[in-house]
Amino acid sequence: MAFIFEEPSRTFSEYLLIPGYSSRECTPTNVSLRTPIVKFRRGEESALHMNIPLTSAVMQAVSDDAMAVALAKEGGVSFIYCSQSIENQVAMVARAKGYKSGFVVSDSNVSPNATLNDILALKEKTGHSTVAVTDDGTGTGRLLGLIASRDYRVSRMTGGEIVSSFMTRVEDLITAPEHTTLSEANDIIWEHKLNALPIVNSRGKLVHIVFRKDYDSHKEHTLELLDKSKKYVVGAGVNTRDYQERIPALLAAGADVFVVDSSEGYTEWQKLVLEWVRETYGDTVKIGAGNVVDEDGFRFLADNGADFVKVGIGGGSICITREQKGIGRGQATAVIDVARARDKYFEETGVYIPICSDGGIVHDYHFTLALAMGADFLMLGRYFARFDESPANRVAVGGVYMKEYWGEGSARARNWQRYDMGGNSKLSFEEGVDSYVPYAGALKDNLAMTLAKVRSTMCNCGAITIPELQSKAKLTLVSATSIVEGGAHDVVLKDN
């Protein structure tokens, strides 16, 4: 007969945290949510960290370049979805990586004989209002001038005007030499009230442009997650079919970290992906794998070179894998079991492999529970799908604004690669639904509230870091009656 686990499969809502001693230093402002993304050896630092323990799901309705930028500004990582052409995914990664750089290599350039119509077309394509005019029309040509929105009035021009007739010429611009530091460049911008500062070399060729908006954004987003080149950290999903073409293309676009997007990770398909990455790139390319729900699945992926392991099957709000196939495990139980396996693996090998809890998050307090149970970071779909920055449409349903939200296993997404078991290139049956979630506005405002709750709860447990939370937290199971007791009860609520 089958092996049967003695313990029932439990969800986050079946647990509560018990308060611990809080010292005077244990205040929300002192809490650090920094966490590793990829594996590291005992005594060493992870090569990649996040400043908040949140990633957005590899889903069409959640993670595009707009979400990648918005989440990186707050300190997390978005994994741009792979159920699209390689070309489209590469373009999304490139746009996110190019959004902020400190020193920007100009990608909006024209030659002096271009026209206003060319400028308008370029602005439509890139979204950039500042255009460099160079002798050869490239971002590294000899700088002749700049064009900003203030240099032309579309309503009073025909569109055929030559760029050289209305650009701000280089002799009227303030520029800086090639070896100017970012701090010095920002000082020049503020001193001269500039929006953009061209950096040129000794031959007058354009090297970079530094923008005022990037400085303002950095001061506003103190936890923003940047790579060594001051660009946003961006993740990307890959599948088990075209990874040998997709990964090199995404690397060329600047992707920092990958994850194998699959409903079930304990398969030879994922082993082949991980082996190919290690044989081709060694440890220079960072790639997570999953999903798994027990020690055997974790060990399999760890032994085959995964940089992190994703935990969870069937717990997503739009996932019906458990209904359709009877496969999965309660998310709390899965995280606890895999976290124990992670710690055991660390003791045996000296290699710490972070785990990502994917699915099962319903309430804000579930974030803290998942971290206390051992998750190093979380992956969220429904939570992020509600925001302005998600790619899904905002629609009015019954007089209330909603955002469309659909699973990768739904007929709408048709992401058969995610559920690939080596058969025909199609979905035989649905494992996800097409739905709506309540529209919630901007990511920044909502996330600030959620993380405030997490930090406050951590202080209640006497912890100001995630590892400290995991070592100090005490959890208790709750009964159905105590769940009722935990909400408003025995009162008549006011109608607000």
Residue given tokens 């999304």 in the structure block: 92
The pairing of strands 176-177 and 168-169 is unpaired
CA 153/CA 432 separation, integer angstroms: 50
Active-site annotation holds for 418:
yes
Q: Where are the alpha helices (DSSP H) in 328-426?
A: 331-349, 364-372, 382-385
236-241-244 Cα angle (round to 5):
70
CA 167/CA 233 separation, integer angstroms: 34
**Catalytic annotation, pick one of 329, 342, 382, 418:** 418
245-251-252 Cα angle (round to 5):
95
Residue 288 in 3-state DSSP?
strand
- Length of the chain measured in residues: 496
| Phi, psi values for residue 468, rounded to 5° | -65, -40
Active-site annotation holds for 356:
no
Q: How far is CA 172 from CA 139, 175, 209, 232, in A?
A: 19, 9, 16, 32
Question: Which helix (H) or strand (E) element contains residue 169?
Answer: strand 168-169
Which residues have CB under 8 Å from 3's CB, separation 6+? none
**Catalytic annotation, pick one of 319, 356, 459, 461:** 319
Contact by Cβ (8 Å): 330, 310:
no
In DSSP terms, 200 is beta-bridged to 177, 206
Question: Which helix (H) or strand (E) element contains residue 206?
Answer: strand 206-211
| Phi, psi values for residue 485, rounded to 5° | -60, -30
CA 118/CA 445 separation, integer angstroms: 38
Contact by Cβ (8 Å): 89, 258:
no
In DSSP terms, 432 is beta-bridged to 319
Q: How far apart are the first and last CA of the chain?
A: 56
| Phi, psi values for residue 354, rounded to 5° | -60, 150
Contact by Cβ (8 Å): 76, 70:
no
Question: Which helix (H) or strand (E) element contains residue 295?
Answer: helix 295-303
CA 6/CA 23 separation, integer angstroms: 39
Which residues have CB under 8 Å from 432's CB, separation 6+? 316, 318, 319, 320, 406, 407, 408, 409, 410, 413
Residues belonging to the active site: 319, 418
